Structure 1
Amino acid sequence: MTSSFATCDLCDAHKNDSSGDFQVLPPVFRDFGAVRRFCGPVVTLKCFEDNTLVKAALDSVGFEETPAGRIGKVLVVDGGGSLRRALLGGNLGAAAAKNGWAGVVIDGCVRDVAELAVLDVGIRALASMPLPTEKRNEGQTDMAVQLQGVWVRPGNWLYADEDGIVLSARRLT
């Protein structure tokens, strides 16, 4: 989705929100995809050093058709903050772009950084790590997850740009 927004403006408008419906992720996520500004409804999964569910998600349709047009979704992955294995690489990044995902945010690592940098999808993660995951078919989907101390729920809206990443319980733009 390419709606016009700025996370700074969203923060200005919601800085006094005490309901918990508006949150800001800590500034620890690095930019890896070619798309710097993205937003969309959140799909969640939780896995630790096993990207089986990441592959399954990104190989599926990454958008919703609405009366207002196609809306790309954002995959949010609670990777437990692991810096030991990469949960996403060039092949999965290409699948995300091909299948219409607006973005992927990973509390963990990516690899194939040069390949990710040219893909038409937003990708944020903690760091790069060349070591791939083990395939154990472990993890959980469609549940509340915690990224760097912030709770993210399926259906939240995520907005990411050059200044940071914010979450809302509802669509803001």
Structure 2
Amino acid sequence: MTFATCDICDAHEDQLASGALAVLPPLFKAYGREPVFSGPAYTLKVFEDNALVRTALEQPGNGQVLVIDGGGSLRCALVGGNLAVLAVKNGWSGIVVNGCIRDSVEINGCAIGVRALATHPQKSIKKGVGDVQLRVMIAGVAVRPGSWIYADQDGVLVAQEKLI
């Protein structure tokens, strides 16, 4: 699938005005070999603990985008190279992390799109604390399970329904 977030915004100005389509603030850096990705959101809310991230990525992704509300923490990474490889293997379209990643060189070699706030060399704890498939807030934008994520070189969009 080919699309441009700019074109989606232009074609859906009414949804931007109503809030049915939102743009994540330009805080996220792009990683991975796939600069363009989209799919329905699978949401996680965790804080400095990536055990649920692994659990999610071990499941068939079926083209979904894993959206991780990590509370914006810059103190450790929630996704690393091994998890990116797992995401590709299991058919995830992309990963959006409101937090950090690590192993950026390895992730950049993977056929997946990843957006994150930054890189951090320290791994997270693994207690399995967090919530799965609930409404999360990513940089002030609500993302619900099943919301459609569209990401390209110009930004990340969150739509309440599939637009293209």
For the criterion TM > 0.5, the same-fold answer is: yes
Q: Secondary structure at the match of 1:50?
A: coil
Structure 2 counterpart of 1:51? 50
* Residues 58-77 of structure 1 mapped to structure 2, 5 A cutoff: 58-63=57-62, 72-77=63-68
The Cα of 1:16 is off from its aligned counterpart by 3.3
Tell me the distance in 2 between the aligned counterparts of 1:74 and 1:131.
24
The one-letter code sitting in structure 2 at the alignment partner of 1:115 is E
Corresponding residue of 1:6: 4
How many Å separate the matches in 1 of 2:161 and 2:126?
34
Q: Distance in 2 between matches of 1:171 and 1:25?
A: 17
The alpha carbon displacement at 1:15 in A equals 2.3
Q: Larger % of helix: which?
A: 2
Tell me how far apart the structure 1 counterparts of residues 7 and 162 of structure 2 sit (CA, whole Å): 14
% identity of equivalent residues: 51
Instruction: Please give the alpha-carbon distance, in whole angstroms, between the structure 2 residues aligned to 1:161 and 1:19.
Output: 22
Task: Confirm or deny that 1:87 pairs with 2:91.
Answer: no
- Measured against aligned partners, the alpha-carbon deviations of 1:90-143 in whole angstroms (never above 9, x if no partner) come to 100100011010000000000001100010111110000000001111000010
4+ residue runs over 6 A deviation:
none
The residue correspondences of 1:92-171 to structure 2 (distance < 5 A) are: 92-171=83-162
Looking at structure 2, the residues matched to 119 and 144 of structure 1 have their Cα atoms a distance apart, in angstroms, of 28
Partner of 2:34: 35
Q: Could you say what secondary structure the match of 1:16 adopts?
A: helix
CA distance in 2, matches of 1:131, 1:16: 43
Q: Which residue of 2 aligns with 1:78?
A: 69
Distance 1:157 1:14 in 2: 14
TM-score (norm 1): 0.92
**5+ residue gaps in structure 1?**
64-71
CA distance, structure 1, for counterparts of residue 126 and residue 2 of structure 2: 39
Alpha carbon RMSD of aligned pairs, Å? Answer: 0.7
Structure 1 CA distance for aligned equivalents of residues 147 and 128 of structure 2:
26
Cα deviation, residue 9, structure 1: 0.3
Gapped runs of 5+ residues in structure 2? none
**How many Å separate the matches in 2 of 1:58 and 1:125?**
16
**TM-score, normalised with respect to structure 2:** 0.97
Counterpart-to-counterpart distance in 1, 2:90 and 2:66? 12
The one-letter amino acid of 1:13's match is: A
